Amino acid sequence: MISQSTIDSVFETARVEEVIGDFVNLKRAGSNYKGLSPFSDERSPSFMVSPAKGIWKDFSSGKGGNSVAFLMEHSHFTYPEAIRYLAKKYNIEIEETEQTDAEKAMTDVRESMYLVSEFAAKYFQDVMVNTEEGKAIGLSYFKERGFTAESIKKFNLGYSPETWDALTKEALGKGYKLEFLESTGLTIAREDRPFDRFKGRVMFPIHSMSGRVLGFGGRILTNDKKAAKYLNSPESDIYHKSKVLYGIFQAKQSIAKQNNCYLVEGYTDVIQFNQAGIENVVASSGTALTPDQIRLINRLTKNITVLFDGDAAGLRASIRGIDLILEEGMNVRVCSFPDGEDPDSFARKNSHDALVAYLEENSKDFIQFKASILMNEAKNDPIKKADLIRDMVTSISKIPDRIQREVYIQECARIMDISEQVLVSTLAQLIQKDIAEANKKQKQEQKPFEVVRNQNPKYTGYSGGDPEDPRTGPPDDYPGEPGYMEGQAEKVDILYGFERKIIEILLLYGSVVESFEDVYLKADEEGNVKEVSEKRQYKVFEKVYLSLQEDEVELSNTLFQNIYTNIIDFYNHNEAFSLDKYLMHLQPEFAQEVTNILMEDEKVTIHNWEGQNIFPKHKNVTIEQNVSDTIFSMRWFLVSKIIHELKNSLISDPKEDNSELLSMVVDYSKLLNNFSKKLGRVVVPYHGG
């Protein structure tokens, strides 16, 4: 078990923008950073990182948290694994305390599979470097391919012995369980005895973007016609062939820096390009390109250059992946090598400068590429030429951006010497056809549903909500009533906003000492009672706590009440408040809402809230004023609600003697006017809802 001192060191050292920057292409946005969400398919950045607060927020999926939370969400790390990853990244020595039996039992299946895979990768590399068989067969093969010792180490290349059960026997001897050797595909089970899947092959470990070993590719070195030349790990809980790219871990930083990704087909293509000094390259591992693989690249860059072998058959087979790339809203260029050459062989024969020059000179726009490849087949055949043009327009129709589509239509018209209007008409037909098919599919998949009114109404705009977020944004037909906001399918409670604001104040300013005006009643020498006010200093959390205690108010939202209790308890037990430290110890069920609140300012859009009795926070408002306004506004709301209920009682149950109720309405109304004076604005009475 990792010691608490190690965990504290990790949180103190880790910089959230550096950790996330290894996985997401972040760009400076004021004091923060922004990028494309790694959790959803999007084309406009909605992922925000705040170095000052040490947290991140993904507005598209609603997820958020600190560095550890990101690794757990993005790479499916367990908490200990995320801590170990960060400790390794920042060269922090891990102190261990002995695990209990219960803690050992909590290690899940996925983690066990990762551990077995990590062991296998180290074993294969050790066999190749330190055994006679490994050196003579595995290492000599890689050296014949021109791989340097640095490349072999960088990509963790190895060798699986010719013995039937070498890995299996070694792993079992080290305490790894057979069930995980089988579930990762490293071992094939038979009733008589298990044996190694990759016997007698050179090994290419396949890593996730975070560097975890997911699976393996193994190449046979004999001329056995019955055996597959390349053998991959089978699908498992940790390895999905369609969702991984070979080399993504080694290439991610270079891809983000160069703002371009070279896409090749094989393992050796990636390694040779790296040796030639071009590191922003990944491989689809010989499989047909998938949307999930393209989205992996999309997290790092919008630009892909697809590198094809020189043979015509390979070109036609690979060209189908271009449409998938275009559908994801990415920019794609294509470069093919001379006949008989592939990226591996071409990189071996040319220097870094020559390779870079070739890629720059021969990378073509996909329209030009398709025309150059397919035009030879069409030649003077009008029908084939028409099919080619239709094929090119079909590719253009996949592009989401209208301006880009128009530019490509103009380019296609120029290259193919055809009327632009004809192409525009054909494009419109294709788009309409796609829309019709999508609508048809949606209707087929659509299930009957019942609209249910939200039983937990939520306020959306007190401190400025996201107008496009159904949870925090105003409904289209919001009438501006101060009690509740009526939406198309739900009511939005202003009280939610006040309570949420209180949590925000405690998080941001709780330990700050401010002077607050205390108002109390005092009798003079003649016995007359009058209202007296004086300034007293409080920590903000003390002022909030005392004010709510004075009014005997408990937050109505259960989640907010739990967070409120948690924060107050933390302040009472810690002399100095550190947001990082608080977030580190925050319960997981509170983390997302706390992150939502802390990152609210990063996506605030004001929609005339003040005209609707909803008062967003202004940057020039002092902490004292912010706290006082929030407390008085909440008091106003609660008193206004009482007045509304009293008036309803008068209407629903009229009596001859209702003077007591009327007197209460008058008294509360005076109190409401007092709040208006203190707030410095006219407050519209609560209308109910």
What one-character-per-residue DSSP string does 163-223 give? Answer: STTHHHHHHHHTT--HHHHHHTTSEE--SS--EETTTTEEEEEEE-TTS-EEEEEEEE-S-
Beta-sheet pairing, 32-35 with 27-29: antiparallel
Lowest mean pLDDT, pick from 255-259, 489-493, 579-583: 489-493
Region 10-21 average pLDDT: 89
Interhelix angle 366-378/402-416, rounded to 10 degrees, is 30
218 vs 403: CA distance, rounded Å: 45
Cβ 56 vs Cβ 70: under 8 Å: yes
pLDDT at residue 64, as a whole number: 86
pLDDT at residue 656, as a whole number: 57
pLDDT at residue 102, as a whole number: 57
pLDDT at residue 368, as a whole number: 82
pLDDT at residue 320, as a whole number: 73
Would you state the CATH architecture of domain 4-105? Alpha-Beta Complex (3.90)
**Domain 248-440 is in which class?**
alpha beta
Per-residue pLDDT band at 485 (split at 50, 70, 90): very low
- Answer whether residue 531 shows pLDDT above 90: no
Three-state secondary structure readout of 419-487: CHHHHHHHHHHHHHHHHHHHHHHHHHHCCCCCCCCCCCCCCCCCCCCCCCCCCCCCCCCCCCCCCEEEC
Pair of tokens at residue 573: 């037990």
- Answer whether residue 681 shows pLDDT above 60: no
Higher-pLDDT residue of 250, 485: 250
88 vs 10: CA distance, rounded Å: 10
Per-position b or e across 308-337, b if 16+ CB within 10 A of its CB: bbeeeeebeebbebbbbbbebbbbbbbbbb
Q: What is the residue whose two structure tokens read 């990226």? A: 343
pLDDT at residue 641, as a whole number: 75
User: Could you give the percent of the chain with pLDDT greater than 70?
Assistant: 76
Q: Judge: domain 109-239, CATH 3.90.980.10.
A: yes
Domain boundaries of the chain, sorted by first residue: 4-105, 109-239, 248-440, 456-689
343 vs 198: CA distance, rounded Å: 26
pLDDT in tens, 638-675: 777 777 777 777 666 666 566 666 766 666 666 566 65
Region 588-597 average pLDDT: 79
Q: What is the mean pLDDT of the chain?
A: 79
Higher-pLDDT residue of 583, 232: 232
The helix/strand/coil state of 273 is helix
pLDDT at residue 480, as a whole number: 33
- Answer whether residue 331 shows pLDDT above 60: yes
Higher-pLDDT residue of 485, 361: 361
pLDDT at residue 509, as a whole number: 85
246 vs 265: CA distance, rounded Å: 9
Length of the chain equals: 689
Cβ 344 vs Cβ 268: under 8 Å: yes
- Answer whether residue 481 shows pLDDT above 60: no
Beta-sheet pairing, 303-308 with 158-160: unpaired
Higher-pLDDT residue of 556, 440: 556
38 vs 40: CA distance, rounded Å: 6
Per-residue pLDDT band at 100 (split at 50, 70, 90): low
- Answer whether residue 526 shows pLDDT above 70: no
Higher-pLDDT residue of 466, 262: 262
pLDDT in tens, 194-208: 999 999 999 999 999
- Answer whether residue 158 shows pLDDT above 90: yes
Pair of tokens at residue 383: 């029908």
Residue 216, judged by CB atoms within 10 A of its CB (0-12, 13-18, 19+), counts as buried
Residue from 173, 152, 161 nearest 124 by CA: 161
Per-residue pLDDT band at 96 (split at 50, 70, 90): confident
Per-residue pLDDT band at 165 (split at 50, 70, 90): very high
- Answer whether residue 475 shows pLDDT above 80: no
pLDDT at residue 687, as a whole number: 52
Q: What is the DSSP string of 320-385?
A: THHHHHHHTT-EEEEEEPPTT--HHHHHHHS-HHHHHHHHHHH-EEHHHHHHHHHHHHHTT-HHHH
Lowest mean pLDDT, pick from 133-142, 166-175, 402-411, 617-626: 617-626
- Answer whether residue 472 shows pLDDT above 70: no
Region 136-157 average pLDDT: 95
**pTM of structure:** 0.63
Region 285-300 average pLDDT: 84
pLDDT in tens, 343-385: 999 999 999 999 999 999 999 888 888 777 767 667 677 888 8
Residue from 347, 367, 372 nearest 357 by CA: 347
Higher-pLDDT residue of 86, 370: 86
Positive/negative CA dihedral, 16, 17, 23, 26 = positive
